[in-house]
Structure 1
Amino acid sequence: MDFGTENQADRTNYGAAFRHPNAQSLVIAFSGVMIENVIKDVTPFLLMVVGETADSCINVKAESEEDFLRELNGDGRVEKAYLYHSLSVSHNGGVELMATLCDDFSKQNNQGVVFKGRFPKYDNEITIAAKYAKENGLEIGDEIEITANGTQETYLICGYTQISNNLGRDCLMTRRGYERMATLTDASYYINLTEETDIDTFNLEAEEKFDVKVNATVNIDTTIKATTDVYISLMTMIVTAVLALSAIIVVFVLYLLVRTMLNCKIHDYRIMKALGFTTGQLVLQTALSFMPEAILSVEVGLMISSFIINPLTALFLSGIGFVSCTFHVPVGFIVFAAIGLILFAFLTACLLSLRIRKITPKALFSGE
């Protein structure tokens, strides 16, 4: 009998019970993606959720558009200005969609809003939310009937978007496309300003210059920062809670495994102590016996998790209209976190194995 090692059947049983690191690997991948794409730099998440961003948004009355655009084009502080106006339209059957209009979608800052197909270019084209398309069996190339102001027109679906401004009931159209059905009474323009320009000052000057012709001004940058602060705080709490829960699970599983091993092999430990093995040697041996299975499980789990984390995130966010996620998977973080998980498991197993100190060879002589 080999007192220094476990038999293969026991190792297999303990290893099978320790396969929880596969779940822990998924937790590591999720935490890494959220830290990289939300907490550290919220831009990737922001572009997916919000869609389009700019510095300022100014809504003007339609009859004042020409004067307004003339002023913007002559203002050295303005890098780019383009129509980006949202309003409601109806799909046949009375389902309301949030339509976003643009005079030229190539001017958009976020060209990733459309993830399949392309933006509308002609007045008979429309891009619709992928979630809504899936729910209604709509494919790229199909025709869809849209109604606005009591007028119905037919449009060709040219792409899918997943902006979530209206929980997946969204569409994109050109201005000329919308004006086949109705005329705009007001128009919102997104404006990119030079870095040194104060957005609030710029908006205030626009209000004073155009007076009643300007319906509203919005500092998009400030609005988004306020929103993203909430997202970052919430995600930080979620990641912290998930990692803490994972640590608790690892400790609990190892507690059960070590306790079972010590109870089942107490006779062997007594013999090994009688043969001269020290407590430190037995503790180290016990902890190391879990490591091959733990390392293999974490490695395989991380490889799988790195590939499936984006689809799983998209599934998690499907309720607000997402069907595809392209978050950057931080390989460096995941590797270091995996090493940390393995070391944590090893140290935990060592601490839990300290019960070996109480095992003495005396019981061998009493026949226990």
Structure 2
Amino acid sequence: MSVMLLAKATFQKNKSQMIGFMLLIIISSALMNLGLTTFLNYPQLFDQYANDMQSADVITTIQNKDETYIKTYQQELLHDPDTKQMEQRNVLFFAGKCQYRNSETLRQFAVLNKNDKQEIGKISMMEESNKSVEHGIYLPYLFHTGGQYNLLDDFTLTIIQDGKEVTFTYQIKGFYEEMMLATINSSTTGLLLDDEEYQTVSKRLSHTIDATMFLMKVNQHDQNSEYATRHLPTITSTNPSIRSDMNYYETIKQSRTLTSSIGATLIIAFSMIMMVILVIVIRFKIQNTIVEDMKNIGAYKAIGYTGIQILLSLMLPYLIIGGIGGILGIGLSNLLLPFLSYMFAIQTGLTWHQGLDALCVSMTLLFLMLIISLITMVTSMKAKKLTPIVALRSGFYTHNFKRNHVPLDKHKATLTVLLAMKALIQNLKANVMVSIVISAIAFASVFAGVLFYNISYQFDNFLFASSGDIADIIVESKTHEDHLRLKKDLEKISGVDHSVDFYTDNAFQCGHEVVICYTSENFLHLRSQQVLYQGRFPKYANEVAIGGLLASKLHKEPGEMITLKKGDKEQEYLITGLIQGANYMGHDVAITEEGYRLFVKDYEARTLNIYTKDKQEIEDTIQYIKQHYSSNIIGIQNNRKVVEASMGSYRDIVSALVCVIAGITLFIIILIMYLVQKTSILQRKQEFGILKAIGYTSKQLIHQIALTSLMVFVIGAMTGAILGYYLINPLLSMLLSYIGMMKVQFEIPWMMLITIILLICLTGSALAMWIARRIKKISPYLLVNEN
């Protein structure tokens, strides 16, 4: 009860500051619980949906142009002892294009017959119109949440077959969900047609796009990638005219939960920064409380209070606020979850109805209370050790003979400036603490600013960091001779910067991991050299650069050997470098064309990556190629537009998160500066009373306070901004390395750092002057004697 009386007195004396602490704790706990809940639960959402729909572990789709191969492949799957269940479906399989998020996207489509029964990969209808339409189609639910389509909207599908384009126009009858196909984040996107419409398309294309889809469930669900590796179709290497594709559970799950992983990581990172700021502010406040109430502490000890009771009285207010603020913050995070779910649905199409998670709530509260307990106990130890006589002397063990560094009679500066400098030196410890708080705020501001600049403003920086190199145009020629002729002709076009052979093959295995293989004539011609973050690109046939995440899993480094496998062929390669990117979650390798021919002897380049000098030249170059080479190419795509369309949802989601973080940062800046400034001014109230008694006006004192604050803020803001400049990219690299972004190199403009420093300094000084206005209404006597 004695301790509670002292704690109650602390509350009553610092009501506004305690409310400020409460708000800071609410924000910190809300962000932490939100991040933990997303990080731990969202990936499980995919598993839950997949289990309910009996999703396949592996899906292979092959055009029916070689019936012998289809039957051989079918028998291969049936005789695999790991095949638990298999289902075959007739589908239409082709390359095509459609509008998505106001941009045209080129994709590989599999059209399913809605009338077919499904045992594996069941289809769930999310929305369906009751109105009859003449030509109806069912799209993935993602086309509604992220593609901005609604029921009964027109949908135009263009099928590309043998260099020709055939266009179909439909009305959207409904939206469906299926975990492996209802997405644009994999190599194949599924569409649904009624039987009549399905047969119409098949007949119009003379059955050239008819295909067989194999859906497999395996005995060991977590072995789906190894199973897929064993059965990767190799028919494309011998007969390029046959279109085939394979998808497996692990990669689809990773691609559809990537946004939530990035978002959760950023939220948790920012909540940790907020926790650091919270710790620094609590330490600062308790230290000042001890100094301010030194005589009272001495009196309490003199009348019988023990050191433990004094310690508990200082800790208890913050523990109570921490508990209440933590609970309120968790409640706030639960209110924000639907908003976060909506943002994720834009990219994934998955609807997430998440309530409070007991584990995440417990982790948040436990961490919060542990941090507050430790910092308050360690900081309050000084009060416990104080003897009554020392406390009554305001903490002095003996007389103070500190040197006067700023004698007022020996400097030519104005008295306001000199007194501001004296205050800066005399309260050095307190000012250092204020500076540390401001440094943390500046660091958080730089963190939010860098993310916003590189995602919302300079989107290419985010694209290159997450997707690796991005060509403006990709062209696939019918023959190698057509490819060489086009490549030579492009050198004469003014809008083209350069082009490079580049081919992607997903039929590779490294250890037990399925990997994507890039092959090129010269990787140094890629536009983004950030793809390579360690070592060098391969030059010779026996060299390879591998994904950093893959290297980490295999415990490999540059200079060591790895074995790549494609079908029945194996080959050893020397690792010359490490590459990065979120594509395929870092499971990728890069080899030379000579190295690729060790697996495919008759390989000849037919795919060309084209880089234009300006984005405005992309469409003109495409039209030129179509006009002069339409009979020599299989397909051409505006790759820049395709990537931006597919990554646009990432941009919107992360930009929204960053804007929220930036808004919170601004609020935190104002809140903490208010707490710090009010504490600093109250600590010096006796000094201000003496100065006012000897003739200083309130205006002069306010200017002195603002000037002292400005000096502290400049040092703190500059320190935080410089730390942000050198530490933000390494911090983001550490946070995002688990998705393949091993070395983030975001741009950090100096002008942004200068702006942050100026805003913090001006805001802090303005707040100091505003808080200091109360000096006007207080007499010198009350300032000197107020307790």
Alignment of 1:49 onto 2:466: yes
After TM superposition, the structure 1 stretch with the greater mean CA deviation from structure 2, 115-124 or 40-49, is: 40-49
Q: Deviations over 1:46-89 (max 9, x none)?
A: 3333322223112345xx23234334534644664432111224
Distance verdict in 2 for CA 1:172–1:273, change over 3 Å = same
Equivalent residue for 2:109? none
Q: Deviations over 1:78-118 (max 9, x none)?
A: 66443211122444432011111113334433344323222
Which one scores higher on RCO, CA 8 angstroms, separation ≥ 6? Answer: 1
One-letter code aligned to 2:535: G
Does the Cα contact within 8 Å between 1:266 and 1:359 map onto a contact in 2? no
One-letter code aligned to 2:568: G
Identical amino acids, percent of aligned pairs: 23
* Aligned counterpart in structure 2 of residue 244 of structure 1, from 660, 663, 674: 663
One-letter code aligned to 1:307: Y
Shift of 1:141: 1.8
Does the Cα contact within 8 Å between 1:22 and 1:302 map onto a contact in 2? yes
Question: Take 1:222 and 1:7, find their aligned partners in 2: how far apart are those partners?
Answer: 56
Equivalent residue for 1:182? 600
Equivalent residue for 1:129? 547
One-letter code aligned to 2:589: C
Does the Cα contact within 8 Å between 1:149 and 1:182 map onto a contact in 2? no
Question: Take 1:68 and 1:166, find their aligned partners in 2: how far apart are those partners?
Answer: 28
Equivalent residue for 2:672? 253
Does the Cα contact within 8 Å between 1:26 and 1:301 map onto a contact in 2? yes
Bigger Rg, structure 1 or 2: 2
Unaligned runs of 5+ residues in structure 1 are: none
Alignment of 1:171 onto 2:584: no
Distance verdict in 2 for CA 1:196–1:257, change over 3 Å = closer
5 Å-filtered alignment, 1:263-282, equals 263=682, 266=685, 269=688, 272-282=691-701
Alignment of 1:159 onto 2:577: yes
Q: Deviations over 1:227-267 (max 9, x none)?
A: 56556555654554444333322322232234435555556
One-letter code aligned to 1:360: S
Which TM-score applies when normalising by structure 2? Answer: 0.41
Distance verdict in 2 for CA 1:261–1:12, change over 3 Å = same
Q: Deviations over 1:177-199 (max 9, x none)?
A: 12322366995321245748624
Equivalent residue for 2:735? 316
One-letter code aligned to 1:138: K
Shift of 1:365: 12
After TM superposition, the structure 1 stretch with the greater mean CA deviation from structure 2, 327-336 or 48-57, is: 327-336
Does the Cα contact within 8 Å between 2:434 and 2:712 map onto a contact in 1? no
Shift of 1:219: 0.5
Question: Take 1:129 and 1:366, find their aligned partners in 2: how far apart are those partners?
Answer: 68
Equivalent residue for 1:340? 759
Equivalent residue for 1:144? 562
5 Å-filtered alignment, 1:1-368, equals 12-13=429-430, 15-17=432-434, 19-31=436-448, 33-34=450-451, 37-60=454-477, 64-74=479-489, 76-77=492-493, 80-182=498-600, 187-192=606-611, 195=617, 198-202=620-624, 204-205=626-627, 208-210=630-632, 214=634, 216-226=635-645, 233=652, 236-261=655-680, 263=682, 266=685, 269=688, 272-361=691-780
Shift of 1:345: 0.8
SS in 1 for 2:720: helix
Which TM-score applies when normalising by structure 1? Answer: 0.81
Aligned length in residues: 361
SS in 1 for 2:562: strand
Question: Take 1:365 and 1:200, find their aligned partners in 2: how far apart are those partners?
Answer: 80
Question: Take 1:285 and 1:196, find their aligned partners in 2: how far apart are those partners?
Answer: 60
Distance verdict in 2 for CA 1:91–1:9, change over 3 Å = farther
Distance verdict in 2 for CA 1:347–1:238, change over 3 Å = farther
One-letter code aligned to 1:118: R
After TM superposition, the structure 1 stretch with the greater mean CA deviation from structure 2, 120-129 or 18-27, is: 18-27
Does the Cα contact within 8 Å between 2:442 and 2:756 map onto a contact in 1? no
Unaligned runs of 5+ residues in structure 2 are: 1-418
Q: Deviations over 1:312-353 (max 9, x none)?
A: 222232122122234443234313421221121111111122
Q: CA RMSD in A?
A: 3.6
Does the Cα contact within 8 Å between 1:27 and 1:242 map onto a contact in 2? no
Shift of 1:172: 0.4
Q: Deviations over 1:23-68 (max 9, x none)?
A: 123234435544664444344443333322223112345xx23234
Does the Cα contact within 8 Å between 1:57 and 1:218 map onto a contact in 2? yes
Does the Cα contact within 8 Å between 1:59 and 1:186 map onto a contact in 2? no
Distance verdict in 2 for CA 1:46–1:205, change over 3 Å = same
Question: Take 1:269 and 1:305, find their aligned partners in 2: how far apart are those partners?
Answer: 36
